[in-house]
Chains A and B, each alone.
Chain A
């Protein structure tokens, strides 16, 4: 700068001097402006209170890290967000055997903390010389502390996770369980494994803990009371197909699935196929009523067994008279139902059953439902026997789904255990299976069966409960075992506009003195179903539809019901013991 000034001391150079001064000033001011901006920004970032953290990719990343504690598997909750399955941190104990100087002593100390371990095995592991051997997985905090207090060299802990089911065995069959590596091995844990291991938010199921408990309790009591080998119970919302309760008994501890008896792992409602007996009459009667010329008042001669080739179809408790459709239904006449099926014809009946899904395996939100068994080849006599539930073996899920299709709105129903909105699924157009007229008639028949027939043990005044009993001999190698029965009850209420459907099935019940030796659906399963319905009423505070609605509902159909000349109305409880198939 100075040298420049020397050069232009005098004369006209003073002008140049001024110019240079002006330029320098300009540059300096410009630089100051830049520094000013930087300073202001620094001031803003550091000194000024900055409450709102800017929403940038970086800040979002750091927040997500702290929010979502990654446990590798999402929780499972019921429809009210009550916890059914969760993942908990667990500590596991391993040993670096190279560092253990006194295997015998360490083993003795460990045996005091884990009495269940095998001592020889432990000593072998401790003296193996390997750098990493698991000793015990899934320690409790108390055990963790106790081992730390031992202070042995070479013992180490590894943080792991463990699947925990707060409801214990209650949901064991539905939820299933996971293996040591955290992969689902059964039930929902297996069926929805990919979703569960990916999603961070809890998985919501349609089930209701309270209903599940009520159903389990009623089923367990029925199984124990009749000294049965097991059973299944389902509660479903008719309009949406949402499963509220799904119980198979006996159950198991999902934390230690292999500890109990192997047969306890068997899931009766999706894994077992059973000939359901008379509950199938709901479907064959619907098929008959779908015929264009069929009327409820049509007569069927049930005076003598129906002969078809070398087969002869009999009634369990023959009425020995000509019966109307309602009569056939409430007295559960095999002959009458077989005659209806004969009029429907093999092809139509088979197509109808197929549409109801009774011939195919299917999947309910990842749960695989077993394939049914049906006669192959199908002979004419099969049409007759299948009409009253002999010859086709299905799972309770099949039966329930078909039932919903018939008593719901007459369109094809789909059971679900994951709410539709969770999946973002489009409901779509549902296929119509039975007409509104048939649907209404079947609902009336079901109500009639409870009010006047075999399902009398289930009636709850004012709730318009309808249902059908079923009792079938179990199929064994080479025929049927008359001593081994499947007794069931399939119900819905209120029948004028069904909201809930209940199914109870008891496997091999034995007759009791106070049931006069009977172990039929009406005696075994109907009271349990009644208990479940009463629980539903109190859980959801369901108001009764009233006895007037009940009476009006059956007004048109009552004249078609046969009544004995002298006694006008048969008490339901008396007719039951005689008429259950």
Chain B
């Protein structure tokens, strides 16, 4: 009679502990998987970022080339062929 007198609270605690260990183990495994998944994702995103940065670099260089003053001036003269002249033009010197 007394042999079965292990307190029920003890049994409960033991069972609870086993469940807790299993749950936490599962959680850890899941976390590990997640970490691997994220690492793969990060690596891919880093690669994409590098590719984007490379493209941005090229586009910046292209933008700078297309906006070089000589070209802008030429285009402006095509669109509005009466430029504002800053130079002391031929007329004033010819008058001397």
Q: Which applies to chain A's interface (DSSP): helix, strand, loop or mixed?
A: helix
The answer to whether A82 has its CB under 8 Å from any CB of chain B is yes
Q: Which residues between 44 and 67 of chain A lie within 8 Å of chain B, taking CB atoms?
A: 45-46, 62, 65-67
Known: A46-B31, A66-B46, A69-B57. A531 touches B87 (CB 8 A): yes
Whole-angstrom distance between the alpha carbons of A427 and B57 in the complex? Answer: 35
Whole-angstrom distance between the alpha carbons of A32 and B16 in the complex? Answer: 9
Contact with B along A532-561 (1 / 0, CB 8 A): 001100100000000000000000000000
Number of A-B pairs whose CB atoms are under 8 Å?
104
- For A, the interface residue count at a CB cutoff of 8 angstroms equals 50
Contact with A along B41-84 (1 / 0, CB 8 A): 01001100110011001101101110111100000000000000
- For B, the interface residue count at a CB cutoff of 8 angstroms equals 44
- A9–B2 CB distance below 8 A: yes
CB distance from A541 to the nearest CB of B (A): 14
Q: Which residues between 492 and 523 of chain A lie within 8 Å of chain B, taking CB atoms?
A: 514-515
Give every chain A residue within 8 A of B24 (Cβ-Cβ): 35, 38-39, 42
Which of these binds chain B: A21-29, A104-112, A277-285, A306-314?
A: A21-29
CB distance from A65 to the nearest CB of B (A): 6
Give every chain B residue within 8 A of A35 (Cβ-Cβ): 17, 20-21, 24
Whole-angstrom distance between the alpha carbons of A218 and B13 in the complex? Answer: 93
Of all chain A residues, which has the CB nearest B60? Answer: A83
CB distance from B69 to the nearest CB of A (A): 4
Of all chain B residues, which has the CB nearest A36? Answer: B20
- B68–A62 CB distance below 8 A: no
Whole-angstrom distance between the alpha carbons of A38 and B27 in the complex? Answer: 11
The answer to whether B9 has its CB under 8 Å from any CB of chain A is yes
Residues of B in contact with A (beta carbons under 8 Å apart): 2-3, 5-7, 9-10, 13-14, 16-17, 20-21, 23-24, 27-28, 30-31, 34, 42, 45-46, 49-50, 53-54, 57-58, 60-61, 63-65, 67-70, 86-88, 93-94, 96
Give the 8 A-B CB pairs with smallest separation, nearest first: A166-B64, A213-B69, A83-B64, A534-B86, A66-B46, A166-B65, A69-B53, A28-B13
Residues of A in contact with B (beta carbons under 8 Å apart): 1-2, 5, 9, 21, 24-25, 28-29, 31-32, 35, 38-39, 42-43, 45-46, 62, 65-67, 69, 71, 82-83, 86-89, 164, 166-168, 170, 209-210, 213, 218, 221, 457, 514-515, 527, 530-531, 534-535, 538, 573
